């Protein structure tokens, strides 16, 4: 039992207790050395977008505010030195494609100038030492991810590279608008799929991708959700091609994961490179927790003080660290299916030491088919019997809602631009990667004739599993995937081989180009939207690899959205010099709100 407690933050996650205690120790050490406390930011900002999703018409969506950004996040300790006439030399050779930090001649891109200058001044040895500090902190705070090898689960330290990725705020504004546009259209599609199916009758999406989808849930037909929003949280995978074009590659809607590492990466980066945050106006990422809390509360049925829980499959799940992290940061209970019960009144209750207490919102991290053994897989031991009854009766909200997987399908992906035009009467802001659906006969013939130059993917797999990269696959692998495509065409899609952009990455004491993608996280509720500035940059660490998933050897970087570089030619000063006495111990991004701070203090005790 994880939830046999009153309404206090869960202490079920031992790893999170380690993380909080270790963070406190790190902050204390930094304060002692004049570098300031760098605890997590947990400020809650009110949403400014008030348009809602209406399944009967495209919404008149307009961003009316600045999403609560508080400007520059500064550390009042050191100033980055950028002396005039500095040399840009670093032992780094781009791979020939598009590099995120340097141009084709090896010179830093304008937005990366101060960063590159600072790295050059540090030199490889000092940079390698910063990497060791980062690795030590990751181990000290218990920042892990879980992999499975030979039927055994193994917790591994989270792979973090200290050289950050930098995105210009002007480019980011376009990315942000494109992500919100896609998620709105996808929510229209999901709601339409479980109601009138206008898009099918119009011939835009074939019926086999709706009622014929393995992710279509008949139990969801006719259910009305708050604001028409089914997919409240989306982790989008973006890739940049050789010509610099940024493409949307995937929309992860079922149980998108990785946001905890976005938040932790920023903490590690601030501890390792505090001086760099004085040089750049970096948009904060900490507001995600407050925005998520607001979203969860906004979908609660008939409650002004909703009881919210995070539903996890348990400690053996690969993303359990994130489940525990989010529950702790939100100050809510982390529960397993056995902690919840649904009696005949079709209401969800949590078992506590004071008896049963009603649950209003479930942030679920359990796949559809395991959610409710009454409705889906009878052998599920991690679900909640009767949960679908309670949800369809409107007595509990589930985030993301059951049935959202119908839009999280690589077969549906190539039709998202058409959905945007159909539901929103707009042109897509972010382009798709050209994709062939093997269910289409002409497309299938093209794919089978060109397997050696294409990337083929199973339509319903995730985590990079099952992908066959034609140019590097051997003859046997190509024969095998061709046979599988012919046996089940609807289960496969293919895309051209993109030469993904690269980032300078520390590998075995050297700076080398490695391919990267980007996963930002978008929140969408009845009251508005929010996108994490930047997101999770994932790195394919093996040389030449295009697979960025951590489960297959990938790493990560902190991602900065930068409003503009400050290039004042002054040298770093000790903390005791040139620092105003009234400056705060921590940057604005890292001030904590009262409730999450209390939760964090409790976890640290």
Q: Which of 224, 381, 280 is nearest to 589 (CA)?
A: 280
Q: Using pLDDT thresholds of 50, 70 and 90, give the confidence band for residue 549.
A: low
Average pLDDT on 144-173 reads 84
pLDDT at 463 over 90: no
Higher per-residue confidence, 80 vs 548: 548
pLDDT tens column, 266-309: 999 999 999 888 778 899 999 999 999 999 999 999 878 999 99
Mean pLDDT taken over the chain: 80
Sign of CA dihedral 267, 269, 274, 278: negative
Whether cis (ω within 30° of 0) applies to the bond prior to 247 is no
Specify the pLDDT at position 52.
Answer: 29
pLDDT-based confidence at residue 4 (cuts at 50, 70, 90): very low
Q: Could you give the count of Cα atoms lying within 13 Å of 139 in the half-sphere of its Cβ?
A: 6
CB neighbour list of residue 158: distance below 8 Å, 6 or more residues apart: 138, 143, 144, 145, 261, 264, 550, 556
pLDDT tens digits along 399-422:
999 999 999 988 999 999 999 999
Whether 84 has a pLDDT exceeding 70, the answer reads no
| pLDDT > 70 in the chain, percent | 76
Q: Locate the domains of the chain by residue range.
A: 14-48+60-158+167-433+498-604
Mean pLDDT of 444-450: 95
Secondary structure string (H, E, C) spanning 195-240: CCCHHHHCCCCCHHHCCCCCCCCHHHCCCCCHHHCCCCEEEEEEEE
d(CA 401, CA 353): 29
The DSSP secondary-structure symbol of 500 reads -
- pLDDT band per the 50, 70, 90 thresholds, residue 521: very high
Cβ atoms < 10 Å from Cβ of 543 = 11
pLDDT of residue 462: 64
Residue 539 clears pLDDT 60, i.e. is over it: yes
Residue 450 has pLDDT above 80, yes or no: yes
- Give the pLDDT confidence of 215-254 residue by residue, as tens digits: 999 999 999 999 999 999 999 999 999 999 999 999 999 8
pLDDT reported for residue 550: 64
How far apart, in Å, are the Cα atoms of 144 and each of 141, 164, 169, 325, 588? 9, 20, 31, 11, 27
User: What pLDDT shows up at residue 577?
Assistant: 33
pLDDT over 80 (residue 18) = no
Q: Does residue 508 surpass a pLDDT of 90?
A: no
Confidence of residue 541 (pLDDT cuts 50, 70, 90): confident
Please answer whether residues 526 and 298 qualify as being in contact, where contact means their C-beta atoms are separated by less than 8 angstroms: yes
User: Confidence class of residue 552 from pLDDT cuts 50, 70 and 90?
Assistant: low
pLDDT digits (tens, 9 = 90+) for 522-536: 999 998 999 999 999
Q: What are phi and psi of 80, to 5 degrees?
A: -70, 130
Range from 37-51, 379-393, 428-442, 578-592 carrying the lowest mean pLDDT: 37-51
CA 57, 526, 337, 290 torsion-angle sign: positive
Task: Determine the Cα angle at 522 with ends 114 and 382, to 5°.
Answer: 125
* 154 or 85, greater pLDDT: 154
Would you say residue 544 has pLDDT above 80? no
Higher pLDDT, residue 248 or 54: 248
Tokens of 79: 């100033």
Backbone φ, ψ for residue 272 (5° rounding): -85, -35
Instruction: State both tokens at 43.
Output: 């400020």
pLDDT, greater one: 390 or 44: 390
Cβ–Cβ < 8 Å for 268, 163: no
CA dihedral sign of residues 40, 43, 44, 49: negative
- Position 358 pLDDT exceeds 70: yes
Residue 542 has what pLDDT? Answer: 77
Nearest CA to 398 out of 381, 377, 412, 384 is that of 384
Predicted local confidence at residue 512, as pLDDT: 92
Helix (H, G, I), strand (E, B) or coil at 73: coil
Model confidence at 14, in pLDDT bands (50, 70, 90)? very low
Would you say residue 30 has pLDDT above 80?
no
Higher-pLDDT residue of 87 and 250 is 250
Dihedral over alpha carbons 509, 510, 516, 520 (to 10 degrees): 50
What distance in Å separates the CA atoms of residue 96 and residue 469, rounded to the nearest whole number? 20
């Amino acid at each position: 039992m994880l939830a046999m407690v009153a309404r206090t933050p869960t202490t079920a996650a031992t790893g999170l207790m380690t993380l909080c205690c270790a963070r406190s120790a790190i902050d204390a050490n930094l304060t002692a050395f004049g570098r300031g406390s760098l605890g997590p930011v947990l400020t809650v900002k009110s949403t400014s977008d008030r348009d809602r999703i209406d399944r009967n018409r495209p919404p008149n969506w307009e961003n009316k505010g600045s999403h609560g950004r508080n400007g520059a996040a500064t550390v009042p300790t050191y100033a980055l030195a950028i002396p005039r006439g500095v040399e840009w030399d670093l032992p780094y050779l781009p791979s020939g494609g598009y590099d995120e930090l340097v141009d084709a001649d090896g010179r830093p891109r304008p937005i990366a100038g101060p960063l590159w200058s600072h790295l050059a001044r540090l030199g490889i040895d000092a940079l390698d030492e910063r990497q060791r500090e980062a690795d030590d902190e990751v181990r000290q705070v218990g920042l892990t991810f879980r992999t499975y090898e030979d039927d055994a689960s193994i917790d591994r330290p989270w792979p973090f590279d200290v050289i950050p990725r930098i995105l210009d705020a002007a480019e980011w504004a376009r990315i942000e608008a494109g992500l919100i546009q896609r998620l709105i259209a996808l929510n229209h599609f999901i709601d339409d799929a479980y109601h009138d199916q206008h898009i099918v009758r119009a011939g835009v999406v074939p019926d086999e991708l709706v009622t014929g989808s393995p992710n279509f849930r008949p139990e969801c037909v006719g259910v009305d959700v708050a604001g028409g929003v089914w997919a409240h949280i989306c982790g989008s995978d973006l890739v940049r091609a050789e010509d610099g074009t940024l493409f949307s590659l995937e929309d992860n809607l079922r149980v998108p994961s990785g946001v905890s590492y976005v938040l932790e990466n920023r903490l590690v980066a601030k501890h390792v490179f505090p001086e760099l945050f004085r040089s750049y106006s970096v948009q904060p990422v900490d507001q995600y927790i407050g925005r998520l809390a607001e979203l969860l509360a906004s979908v609660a049925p008939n409650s002004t003080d909703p009881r919210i829980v995070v539903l996890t499959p348990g400690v053996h799940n690969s993303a359990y660290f994130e489940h525990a992290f989010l529950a702790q940061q939100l100050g809510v209970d982390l529960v397993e299916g056995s902690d919840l019960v649904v009696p005949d009144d079709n209401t969800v209750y949590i078992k506590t030491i004071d008896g049963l207490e009603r649950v209003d919102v479930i942030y679920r991290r359990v796949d559809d088919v395991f959610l409710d053994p009454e409705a889906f897989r009878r052998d599920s031991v991690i679900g909640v019997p009767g949960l679908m009854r309670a949800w369809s009766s409107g007595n509990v909200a589930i985030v993301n809602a059951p049935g959202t997987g119908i839009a999280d399908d690589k077969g549906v992906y190539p039709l998202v631009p058409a959905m945007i035009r159909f539901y929103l009467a707009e042109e897509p802001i972010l382009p798709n990667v050209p994709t062939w659906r093997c269910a289409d006969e002409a497309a299938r013939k093209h794919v089978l004739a060109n397997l050696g130059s294409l990337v083929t993917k199973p339509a319903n797999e995730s985590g990079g599993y099952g992908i066959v990269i034609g140019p590097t696959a051997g003859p046997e692998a190509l024969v095998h995937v061709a046979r599988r495509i012919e046996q089940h065409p609807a289960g496969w899609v293919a895309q051209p081989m993109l030469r993904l952009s690269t980032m300078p990455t520390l590998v075995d004491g050297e700076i080398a180009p490695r391919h990267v993608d980007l996963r930002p996280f978008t929140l969408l509720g009845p009251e508005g939207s929010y996108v994490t500035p930047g997101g999770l940059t994932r790195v394919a660490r093996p040389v030449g690899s295009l697979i960025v998933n951590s489960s297959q050897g990938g790493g990560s970087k902190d991602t900065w959205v930068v409003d503009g570089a400050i290039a004042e030619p002054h040298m770093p000063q000790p903390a005791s010099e040139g620092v105003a006495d009234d400056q705060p111990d921590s940057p604005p991004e890292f001030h904590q709100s009262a409730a999450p701070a209390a939760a964090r203090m409790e976890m640290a005790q």
